[in-house]
Amino acid sequence: MIGKTRSRENMENEIKVREKVLTLKSVNISEIIRYELEGDPPFFTEKIIPGRVVDPIRDEELILRDLTEELWRMYEGYGIVFKGIGEVTDPSGAEDTILKAMEMIEWSDRWMGKRDFIKRCVEILKSEALMPLSIGHGDLSTENMIMSRDGKIYVSDWELARQMPIVFDLTGIMSKVPRTRELFKERIDDLAVNNREKNILSFQDQHFLSVITVILQWEHSLRYTERIERGKDTFLRKLNNSFGLANEIL
């Protein structure tokens, strides 16, 4: 990995996270062999994992059996903390932001009414409930996973790793492999039972909030897709999918 488009601090963070994850005996990741952060540009090299991209259908059983357990061991091993919603997302101006996003798509008749949808968003954003956080991969989708030749799933591309709500980190994989939702719901429910003194937001509301947080960033996402990807059509498709997923969760 050559840091032409990444800061030295970002690469240093990724190296530290990956070194820590390797000690947890949780998810499988490639070992960093060498790094030089003072180089121009900074770089690190890692062990190549021969294999193919994980397929959410073909590899579903292995994801359900192994990856879900490995991810949870990572969260627990790294340490789980609890924070309020206002500490992990900014609720200011949320209603107007969501309304503007709604105006950009065609609202499906199968979805909740717009007013009720916004009301639910505001209720959760203003809730005083807590959410569990740990280290998060930041882009946990099957596209960033490798099925090795010996039948193990390796998680790659850790440049976005940071502390974040656990359910936020899991949203990508839960979208690709819906059967993982129930397994992770059980884990979150267990956390709530084991921390009865804390008012922990329900799994459903955490999952819903993870999607709403993405929608709240639509202006940034639009600028990105117009600059990097295929323009506004790509953005609108993703925005529509986010509203669809949010309604499905509810």
Residues 154-179: b if buried by 16+ CB within 10 A, e if exposed: bbbbbbbbeebbbbbbbbbbbbbbee
Stretch 44-73: mean pLDDT:
96
Query: Can you name the CATH fold of 8-91+126-216?
Result: Transferase(Phosphotransferase); domain 1 (1.10.510)
How far is Cα 21 from Cα 182, in angstroms, rounded to an integer?
25
Q: What is the average pLDDT value for the chain, to the nearest integer?
A: 91
CB 136 within 8 A of CB 166: yes
Domain boundaries of the chain, sorted by first residue? 8-91+126-216
pLDDT greater than 70 at residue 244: yes
Predicted confidence band at 121 (pLDDT cuts at 50, 70, 90)? very high
Q: What percent of the chain has pLDDT over 90?
A: 76
Tokens for 210, please give them: 């993870």
User: 204 Cβ partners below 8 Å, 6+ apart?
Assistant: 185, 249, 250
Question: Bridge partners of 80?
Answer: none
Stretch 218-242: mean pLDDT:
74
The reported pTM is: 0.90
Predicted confidence band at 224 (pLDDT cuts at 50, 70, 90)? low
The residue whose two tokens read 């193919």 is 52
